[in-house]
Chains A and B, each alone.
Chain A
């Protein structure tokens, strides 16, 4: 079964510093991959997606992620952290089942931004 692993349940960065959130997948076939963000008491918002086109994917709010098949990774980065980036981030992958795509999520990484 496919799995998604996020390294680090909690990451702290200073405002203006680089944000790096790590995600690795395990699948014999590269899945479609996503990063979602969740603010307190809210649902999940899609940040960006990889669907086998470009390996460097740009998303909303200045985030981007690079798909590396050799490393089975899809790490999320942002050059300069902003206070509003403080939230929980989830990496997710999909595989096709019966014509649908169910998401398999990592455990999440809570990002704190220090002023």
Chain B
């Protein structure tokens, strides 16, 4: 079974621009979570989507948004990019049973975003 895929793997943007990252979960996984990884702050939870609805959100500004499609694929968008948004953005997928996400999260390779 194919793992979580993320595109693109690397991205360079300029301050003020916006960016969209894509994530395809493992087949059959309907929950998708996003995390930001930086050397200073470590791994931080951004948000989680299930059935095209955001179920949980971390402590990030409104510039960070996401969505999920009917096929469970997810995108996250960052508007008005700042230098501090440079990070590795990781997507993880999970099985959902009876409406509850199971414990294991399976991660993709990440998208390395550099803001100049």
Closest to B101 in A: A100
Tally A-B pairs: CB < 8 A: 70
User: Which A79-94 residues have a C-beta within 8 angstroms of B?
Assistant: 90, 92, 94
A84: shortest Cβ distance to chain B, in Å? Answer: 18
Cβ 8 A contact of A102, one of B45, B50, B112 = B45
Q: Is the interface of A mostly helix, strand, loop or mixed?
A: strand
Cβ 8 A contact of A98, one of B4, B56, B105 = B56
Chain A contact patch, size range: 20 to 34
Interface residue? B55 (CB, 8 A): yes
**CB-based contact A43/B109 at 8 Å:** yes
A31: shortest Cβ distance to chain B, in Å? Answer: 10
Cβ 8 A contact of B107, one of A45, A94, A98, A101 = A45
Closest to B112 in A: A41
A98-B56, A99-B55, A100-B31 given; A46·B106 CB < 8 A: yes
Other contacts beyond A43-B110, A101-B101: 18, CB < 8 A: A32-B103, A34-B104, A41-B112, A43-B90, A43-B107, A43-B108, A44-B90, A45-B107, A49-B104, A98-B56, A99-B55, A99-B100, A100-B55, A100-B56, A101-B94, A103-B105, A105-B43, A108-B43
